[in-house]
Amino acid sequence: MAAVTGLFVIALGLRLWGINFGLPALYRPDEDVAVGRAMGILHGVLDPHFADWPHLYFYVAAAWLTPFKLVGLVSDQASGYLGVRILDALLGSLTVLLVFEFGRRAYSWWAGFLGAAGLAVVFLHVRDSHFGTLDIPLTLAVTGALYVAFRTVASRGVRPLLVNGIALGIAASLKYNGALVFAGIATAQWLRGRLEPSTVIQVLRRLVVIAVVGILTLALTSPFLVLDPGMTQHGIGYIFTHLGKATAPAVGWVELSRALWYGIDPPLLLLGLIGIAYAGWRRTAADWILVTFVVVYFALIGAGGSVFFRYADPLIPPLLVLGGRMLADLIKLTVDRRVRALAIAAAMVVVMVPPMIHDLRYDTLIQQTDTRTLAFDWLAEHVPTGSRAAVPYMAGPAHDQAMIDSGEHSHSATDPYVAAFLDSRLETQYRIRELTRDDLNLTSLDSFRQQGIQYIVIGYETPGTGCRPDSPLERALREHGPPVATYSPTIGCPSSVFDPIDTYYVPLAGYADWIRPGPQIRIYRLTN
Tell me, what's the pLDDT at 223? 96
pLDDT score of 242 more than 80: no
Tell me, what's the pLDDT at 467? 74
pLDDT score of 393 more than 80: yes
457-475 per-position pLDDT tens digit: 999 988 876 676 689 999 9
Percent of the chain whose pLDDT exceeds 70: 98
400-456 per-position pLDDT tens digit: 999 999 999 999 899 999 999 999 999 999 999 999 999 999 999 999 999 999 999
CA distances from 106 to 98, 102, 171, 323, 325 (A): 12, 6, 21, 13, 9
Tell me, what's the pLDDT at 241? 76
* First-last CA distance in the chain: 71
Q: Which residues contact 353 (CB under 8 A, 6 or more apart)?
A: none
CA distances from 74 to 50, 145, 231, 367 (A): 23, 32, 29, 22
Tell me, what's the pLDDT at 304? 83
Q: How far, in Å, CA of 314 to CA of 125, rounded? A: 9
Q: How far, in Å, CA of 186 to CA of 288, rounded? A: 10
Tell me, what's the pLDDT at 468? 67
Tell me, what's the pLDDT at 469? 64
pLDDT score of 156 more than 90: no
Q: Which of the residue ranges 12-21, 194-203, 313-322 would you say has the lowest mean pLDDT?
A: 194-203
pLDDT score of 336 more than 90: no
Beta partners for residue 497, in sequence order:
509
pLDDT score of 115 more than 80: yes
Confidence of residue 107 (pLDDT cuts 50, 70, 90): very high
Write the burial class of residue 214 (CB in 10 Å: 0-12 exposed, 13-18 middle, 19+ buried): buried
Percent of the chain whose pLDDT exceeds 90: 78
Q: Which residues contact 128 (CB under 8 A, 6 or more apart)?
A: 88, 92, 135, 136, 310, 313
Helix (H) or strand (E) holding 356: helix 337-366
Q: How far, in Å, CA of 505 to CA of 16, rounded? A: 19
396, 220, 248, 372: which is closest to 309 by C-alpha? 248
Tell me, what's the pLDDT at 349? 85
429, 366, 425: which is closest to 393 by C-alpha? 425
Q: How far, in Å, CA of 84 to CA of 99, rounded? A: 23
Tell me, what's the pLDDT at 249? 61
Q: How far, in Å, CA of 160 to CA of 207, rounded? A: 11
343-391 per-position pLDDT tens digit: 888 888 888 899 999 999 999 999 999 999 999 999 999 999 999 999 9
516, 513, 521, 507: which is closest to 489 by C-alpha? 516
Tell me, what's the pLDDT at 201? 87
Confidence of residue 335 (pLDDT cuts 50, 70, 90): low
Q: How far, in Å, CA of 525 to CA of 483, rounded? A: 7
Taking all residues of the chain, what is their mean pLDDT, rounded to a whole number? 92
Tell me, what's the pLDDT at 248? 64
Mean pLDDT of 168-190: 96
DSSP string across 166-221: HHHHHHHHH-GGGGGGHHHHHHHHHHHHHHTT--HHHHHHHHHHHHHHHHHHHHHH
pLDDT score of 39 more than 90: yes
Q: How far, in Å, CA of 473 to CA of 441, rounded? A: 6
Please answer whether residues 316 and 122 qualify as being in contact, where contact means their C-beta atoms are separated by less than 8 angstroms: yes
Give 243 or 86, the one with higher predicted confidence.
Answer: 86
Beta partners for residue 525, in sequence order:
455
Q: How far, in Å, CA of 378 to CA of 372, rounded? A: 10
499, 501, 29, 461: which is closest to 247 by C-alpha? 501
Confidence of residue 337 (pLDDT cuts 50, 70, 90): confident
460-518 per-position pLDDT tens digit: 988 876 676 689 999 999 988 899 999 999 998 888 999 988 999 999 999 999 999 99
Mean pLDDT of 260-269: 92
Q: How far, in Å, CA of 316 to CA of 260, rounded? A: 8
